[in-house]
């Protein structure tokens, strides 16, 4: 059984529609795929409506969170994969809405800063790139490419523009990770720490944080990810074993926005079974 538990569609910052994504998942030989768009469930219904025969869809979302080393220190950004939660649970829904609306203000401010420095990009350009999806940095990056300011997504995500520590990067209004875990559990979902040791993305939480997260209700840790080296994956597995957490693997597929194929990394069936057994919000859907 081939299981990919982390993909993104055009409902957030991927390039394939939810329908095209599940077809691509089936075409790649996957048996199970999770749709985990950023802070939204907007792609769920479309994916379910055209789910190919034999493919199981795990409905989820990737939540933008922060972990605070101390209240007088800057927080560390991290992502929480939330699986099989009730999308209508009011508290989690309200928090997802808050974060999405904050992304709009953040992206608009980044555009304003670049315009002030003379770059020929507009807010309308970014909105057009999002095409109705929750606006994020990838849409700003694509607008920069269209305007001829940068040549590639990678160039946009450098310190010169909107990458980590970038001149035009603006902080996000993210969810405290402990609040996020509690909200996902209250909605019947299962929280998993996404690409936790991807240091190329920025600062990562210290090893001591994992026990606190597990005590708060974390279900699993994503180990097999393109941003993790082999020794990092081994370290994550050791931490998970010590804390009784399951380990997942996934592509973090974004279509043309990233050079990682759907199904490039997969999850062990036993870990998938543990995930499903913990969920009470919605069930996986089989085509």
What is the 3-class SS of 147-184, one letter each residue? CCCCCCHHHHCCCCCCCCCCCCCCCCCCEEHHHHHHHH
Q: Report yes or no on 166 lying in a domain.
A: no
**Beta-strand pair 56-67/76-83:** antiparallel
> Do 135 and 197 fall into the same domain?
no
Residue % of the chain over a pLDDT of 90: 86
User: Is 111 within a domain?
Assistant: yes
Residue 140 lies in a domain: yes
Q: Are residues 119 and 91 in the same domain?
A: no
> Do 179 and 276 belong together in one domain?
yes
Q: Is 167 part of any domain?
A: no
| Mean pLDDT, residues 89-95 taken together | 97
Q: Which domain holds residue 271?
A: 3-98+172-286
Claim to verify: residue 78 and residue 127 sit in the same structural domain: no
What is the C-alpha to C-alpha distance for residues 189 and 89, in angstroms, rounded to an integer?
A: 10
Residues 180 and 56 in one domain: yes
Q: Are residues 109 and 215 in the same domain?
A: no
* pLDDT, average across residues 218-229: 97
Of the pLDDT bands very low, low, confident and very high (cuts 50, 70, 90), residue 65 is very high
Within-domain flag for 202: yes
For residue 72, give the CATH number of its domain: 3.20.20.140
For residue 110, the domain's CATH number is: 1.10.150.650
**pLDDT for the residue numbered 34:** 98
Total domains in the chain come to: 2
Per-residue pLDDT, averaged over 120-148, amounts to 91
Is the pLDDT confidence value at 22 over 90?
A: yes
Residue 202 has pLDDT above 90, yes or no: no
User: Is 90 exceeded by the pLDDT of residue 200?
Assistant: no
217 occurs within a structural domain: yes
Of the two residues 155 and 202, the one the predictor is more confident about is 155
């Amino acid at each position: 059984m081939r299981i990919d538990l982390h993909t993104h569609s055009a409902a957030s910052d991927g390039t394939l529609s939810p329908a095209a994504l599940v077809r691509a998942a089936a075409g790649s030989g996957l048996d199970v795929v999770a749709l985990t768009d950023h802070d939204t469930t907007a792609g769920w219904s479309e994916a379910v409506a055209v789910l190919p025969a034999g493919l199981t869809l795990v409905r989820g979302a990737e939540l933008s969170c922060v972990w605070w080393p101390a209240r007088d220190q800057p927080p560390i950004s991290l992502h929480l994969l939330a699986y099989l939660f009730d999308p209508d649970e009011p508290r989690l829904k309200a928090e997802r809405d808050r974060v999405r609306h904050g992304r709009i203000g953040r992206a608009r401010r980044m555009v304003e800063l670049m315009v002030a420095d003379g770059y020929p990009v507009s807010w309308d350009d970014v909105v057009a790139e999002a095409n109705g999806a929750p606006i994020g940095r990838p849409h700003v990056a694509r607008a920069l490419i269209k305007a001829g300011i940068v040549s590639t997504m990678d160039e946009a995500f450098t310190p010169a523009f909107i990458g980590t520590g970038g001149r035009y990067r603006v902080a996000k209004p993210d969810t405290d990770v402990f609040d996020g875990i509690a909200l996902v559990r209250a909605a019947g979902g299962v929280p998993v720490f996404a690409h936790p040791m991807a240091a190329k993305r920025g600062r990562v939480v210290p090893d001591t944080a994992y026990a606190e997260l597990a005590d708060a209700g974390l279900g699993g840790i994503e180990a097999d990810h393109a941003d993790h080296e082999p020794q990092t994956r081994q370290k994550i597995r050791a931490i998970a074993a010590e804390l009784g957490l399951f380990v997942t693997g996934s592509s973090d597929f974004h279509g043309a926005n990233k050079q990682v194929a759907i199904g490039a990394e997969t999850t062990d069936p036993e870990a998938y079974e543990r995930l499903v057994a913990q969920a009470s919000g919605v069930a996986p859907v089989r085509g």
